[in-house]
Structure 1
Amino acid sequence: MGNSMVRLEQRLSLQQRLSPQHVLFSTLLQMPVMALEQKIQTELEQNPLLEEQTDIETEQERVDEFSDPAQEEIKNSSEEENEPQENIDKDEEYDFEEFLNDEEGYEFNPTLRDASEEEYRPDPAPVTLAEHLLSQFHFLPLSDADREIGEYIIWNINEDGYLVGDVETLANNLSSPPDKIVTPEHFEKILKLVQTLEPSGIGARNLQECLVIQLKEQDKDNELPIKILEHHFDDFKNKRFERLIKNLGVIQEEVKKAIDVISKLNPKPGEGYINTNENYIIPDLIVEKVGSEFISSVNDSNVPQLRINNSYRRILTDGGNVPVDTKKYIYQKLESARWLINSIQQRKLTMIKVMKEIIKRQRDFFEKGRRYIKPMILKDIADAIGMDISTISRVTNRKYVQTDYGVFELKYFFSDRMVTEDGDEISTLRLKNQIKEIIKNENPKAPLNDGQIAKIVAEKGIPIARRTVAKYREHMMIPVARLRRKI
């Protein structure tokens, strides 16, 4: 026999586990308002104990809570409505002659409508870029085979208006030997027809071709701009104006006029046909100034108001001949419904608490605008309101606030700090705005490089390195000095 033996041991360990309620609260807290609405709708479908409370039901509940005198007043008012018509004041009767001679006529007059009544105006059906192009292409006198090639080209045009893929590959994709062979030359021929459709420049394979197509379709003498794009595009792209003047043998004024013509062209002809509904931002919080104070509120007007279904609640309280499994199921769903309702309320209170502290620390921003934003980090808010940094991070994640100066992401109010020569602290966001302002006011014929910008900023009392200026400039998607140059 071996030396192995069965032993009984007792171990003490400490583990951190989140309760289901805390997990649910953390999940709801980091949801933006649209995701919260979808979550609630899903819970309404899955949990029979949850039901949506309508505004009418809320008002009815308030009426039911009235005292006896109020009930008597309602009763008296209903009796007055049932009085004979003879008791109606004659001054309230309609004068049909005056009604028919009304000078306002039957035109729609918005001032006559109740201001609180929301007008319903149906949106027009959105037209995609492909649908717009196909509606034009189908009018061209083409064979079925050529029409198929053209439709295939249109469906391979991206949202910016450019053809995705090279001609040879696309032609091979359409071919099915030996019955059907599409040569690159024939594919190119149909592509040229697609490029004649509106908007101008559509179906190009690159920016150079897109701009040339637009110039050739204009009823103007664009010989020099076309020559610049077709034969000197690299010099034009890198703004080597002196080389353009020398190679073209023209004066500076002519090159300037040609570049002005090119700059008015559309580099993304497909824009304008994208469904912008996906780009809407719905603020989660709203900050309004009432008197001298700023009031924050959660934008939950479209979030369904939940309550627990009383019918199922009575099954648990009344008992009866309800099976044990049914009672257990109802109890589980009841707990889940309570957790959800409490977590939604706790989410609302937490968001308002965080927003109030942000307003307190960034009051100058809300009073005067974005130039007065101060440095602030998540830890500052967490320490002030006694919450964990992870909670503040969840509150500010993917959420927006509506202010008098626009809609901002909550993360916008948090930035690192830099110390000036006087010892004051400024936000790096404010520093970025200073760099943007310096570039905006620079001489376009001789734009400032990063070193020169750093020197100007240092003269204002903020020591900063050239590489820091380059990092902030790239973050703001501002090109280098060479590409900002104008003739």
Structure 2
Amino acid sequence: MVRLTQQLSLEQRLTPQQILLSTLLQLPMLSLEQKIKTELELNPVLEESDELEEIQDEELEIEENAEEVEEIQEEFEQLEENNKSEEEEMYEEVEEDINWEDLINDESTYELKMPSQKDEDEYERPEVYHATMAEYLLNQLRLLNLQEDDFRIGEYIIYNLRDDGYLDPEVTVENIAQIFNVTPEHVERILKMIQQFDPVGIAARNLQECLLVQLEAKNENGEYDTAIRILKEDYEDFVNKRYEKIAEKLDISLDEVKKAVHEISRLNPKPGEGFWDVRQNYVIPDFIVEKVDDELVISLNEWNMPGLRISPHYLKLLSQARKLGKDVRKFLRKKVESARWFLMALHQRRATMLKVMHAIVEKQKDFFEKGPEHIKPMIMKDIADMIGMDISTVSRVVNGKYVQTDYGVFELKYFFNEGMETADGEEVSTLKIKERLKEIIENEDPNKPYSDEKLAEILNKEGIPIARRTVAKYREQLGIPIARLRRKI
């Protein structure tokens, strides 16, 4: 007998606004610029312009006559045909539940600003580099001519790729399906499309999938069948190099196994790595912190980004909604709401970014005033507690972002390091310990390099209580080999 039971469970679901803000927070400056350009392409209601000049121009252009209304109606019918959404019902529900005027607080424009103390002529524009991985993949995504909602899913996947090209393990197909209110199969289909982009294997969820995607993409005549079979049927033995076992299990010769392994070894295990190698040569800071009149001034570096607003032209048309057809009116409302979401999220991103940066500067004031040797121990929880935000929010702001200081450009992650209490009761940063360790090794006798045990002994005599195992870990992180390999022959 089948027994039916009921079970209640609580499930947190992100709103479209939360999804958008979360995405924007994790984007560094150059990726945000690309995101804004993409939004301008997708939403005709958003425009890039000088607000006052454009409003004056639009006032001259807008005339309330039947001919223009008919012309705009035809324009929107064409736009609607190209942008049919599978989620229209969801948007309608959201529209009924939200008071948009209260939500956006009349923030219908977004102006990106440079530091006020910098004169435009004095500001030295950073060197521009070639396309980032995200830009390169987004350009390929556009070529598919997907419906807008599918494009958003693909865009979300691309912006959640790690530096090596793999999909962030915390971002699962099921999570994405829940966020966009579609089936996991729907998301899987779009993910598979992206995995076929150049470089093939991008957006894989693990090494096995990455290698399989690459093999299957070039297996036109079946020449890679054995390699594919090994990865699918006996991946564990492949990873552990148990080739005889593979041959026995798959009933093939050892030579066939070795040939297949050679083919697999020629694949790219980190498809995104090349892009990020290029990017590292062209770091553009997201923040600028400088001392002006004995005060630290913090600003977002928004030099090359356009200001945004909702077009007065389309707002005027929306006020004449009765003259437009039902479908056009519905499409126009959806686009205006989407634009307001985006503008509000940009304002919130700016506020959150600056809030986090102000807290970092407050905590690391000695660093910004006196230099890197004065860095203090600090973890993300310290900043989260200071500003009353979740650690995950702080992490999104920090990840992949850089700050320009009077002492050079630093990755924000640089400021987060744990500390250790010295014999004098003073807390010292692990970064300073590593610097001291590196200094000791650089000044050692090359004929008799120090062992990890001896290095630990030296540091302990200097008042830093550290174990040999910790010294070994720090030495490896610094890329310094063991004593035997450092010995001069």
- TM interval, shorter chain, is 0.5 to 0.7
| Aligned: 1:39 with 2:35 | yes
Q: What's the counterpart of residue 21 of structure 2?
A: 25
State the match for 2:121 in structure 1: 116
2-structure distance, mates of 1:424, 1:478:
27
How far, CA to CA, are the matches of 2:16 and 2:55 in structure 1? Answer: 32
State the alpha-carbon separation in 2 of the partners of residues 444 and 348 from structure 1: 51
Q: CA 1:414–1:37 in 2, change beyond 3 Å: closer, same or farther?
A: same
Q: Does 1:423 align with 2:419?
A: no
1:483 to 479, 482, 485: 485
Alignment of 1:345-424 (within 5 A): 345-424=347-426
What is aligned with 2:458? 456
2:149 paired residue number: none
CA contact 2:55–2:312 (8 Å) conserved in 1: no
1:18 to partner: Cα distance = 1.3
Q: Secondary structure at the match of 1:423?
A: coil
Deviation at residue 4 of structure 1 after TM alignment = 9.5
Flag the 1:26–1:316 CA change in 2: closer, same or farther, 3 A.
same
Post-superposition shift, 1:277?
Answer: 6.5
Partners of 2:415 and 2:346 in 1: CA distance: 25
Question: Are 2:287 and 2:298, in contact at CA under 8 Å, matched by a contact in 1?
Answer: yes
> What is the aligned length?
282
Structure 1 unaligned runs (5+)?
64-113, 126-273
What SS is found at the alignment partner of 2:410?
strand
The higher-RCO structure (CA 8 Å, 6+ apart) is 2
Mapped to 1, the partners of 2:52 and 2:328 lie a distance apart of 30
Q: In structure 1, what is the equivalent of residue 49 of structure 2?
A: 53
Tell me: CA distance 1:118–1:380, structure 2 relative to 1, closer, same or farther (3 Å): closer
CA 1:52 to 1:398, structure 2 compared with 1: closer, same or farther past 3 Å? same
User: Which residue does 2:60 correspond to in 1?
Assistant: none
In the alignment, the residues of structure 2 paired with residue 116 and residue 356 of structure 1 have an alpha-carbon distance, to the nearest angstrom, of: 27
Secondary structure of 1:300's match?
coil
Paired AA for residue 121 in structure 2: S
User: Aligned match of 2:447 in 445, 448, 453?
Assistant: 445
Q: Deviations over 1:43-78 (max 9, x none)?
A: 110100011124xx5578799xxxxxxxxxxxxxxx
Identity %: 56
C-alpha displacement at 1:119, in angstroms?
10
Unaligned runs of 5+ in 2: 58-118, 131-275
Alignment-mate amino acid for residue 473 of structure 2? K
- The change in CA–CA distance for 1:308 and 1:423 in structure 2 (over 3 A counts) is same
Give deviations 1:123-151, integer Å, cap 9, x for gaps. 9x9xxxxxxxxxxxxxxxxxxxxxxxxxx
Mark the CA change 1:325 to 1:392 in structure 2 (over 3 Å): closer, same or farther: same
Q: 1:315 maps to which residue?
A: 317
Pick the structure with greater CA Rg. Answer: 1
* CA gap 1:301/1:458 in 2 versus in 1, 3 angstroms: same
1:290-323, Cα deviation, whole Å (9 max, x unpaired):
1222111111111221111111111111224200
Separation (CA, whole Å) in 2 of partners of 1:472 and 1:282: 29
Q: Name the counterpart of 1:339.
A: 341
- Residue 117 of structure 1 deviates from its aligned partner by 8.4
> Structure 1, residues 219-277: CA drift from partner, whole Å, max 9, x if none?
xxxxxxxxxxxxxxxxxxxxxxxxxxxxxxxxxxxxxxxxxxxxxxxxxxxxxxx9967
Q: 1:58 to 1:118 in 2, by over 3 A?
A: farther
Partners of 1:431 and 1:62 lie apart in 2 by 61
- In the alignment, the residues of structure 2 paired with residue 275 and residue 389 of structure 1 have an alpha-carbon distance, to the nearest angstrom, of 28
Paired amino acid for 2:459: V
> Offset of 1:446 from its aligned partner?
2.4
Q: For the residues of structure 1 that align with 2:28 and 2:301, how far apart are their CA atoms?
A: 10
Counterparts in 2 of 1:49-448, with a 5 A limit? 49-54=45-50, 116=121, 279-448=281-450
Per-residue deviation, 1:33: 0.8
Distance in structure 2 (CA, Å) of the matches to 1:462 and 1:337 = 55
Amino acid at match of 2:388: G
User: How far did 1:438 drift?
Assistant: 1.1
Distance 1:426 1:118 in 2: 37
Give how far 1:115 is off: 9.5
Cα distance change of structure 1 residues 427 and 438 upon mapping to structure 2, 3 Å threshold: same
* 1:449/1:11 CA distance change after superposition, 3 Å: closer
Partner of 1:176: none
TM-aligned CA distance change 1:307 to 1:60, over 3 Å: closer
**CA gap 1:432/1:275 in 2 versus in 1, 3 angstroms:** closer
Decide whether aligned partners of structure 1 residues 315 and 59 sit closer, same or farther in structure 2, where only a CA change above 3 A counts. Answer: closer
Partner of 2:474: 472
Once residues 330 and 383 of structure 2 are traced to their aligned partners in structure 1, the CA distance between those partners, rounded to angstroms, is: 43
Q: What is the alpha-carbon root mean square deviation over aligned residues?
A: 3.3
Q: Distance in 2 between matches of 1:414 and 1:117?
A: 32
Closer, same or farther: CA 298–118 of 1 in aligned 2, 3 Å: closer
Aligned-partner Cα distance in 1 for 2:324–2:434: 68
What is the match of residue 224 of structure 2?
none
Q: Deviations over 1:82-120 (max 9, x none)?
A: xxxxxxxxxxxxxxxxxxxxxxxxxxxxxxxx9928999
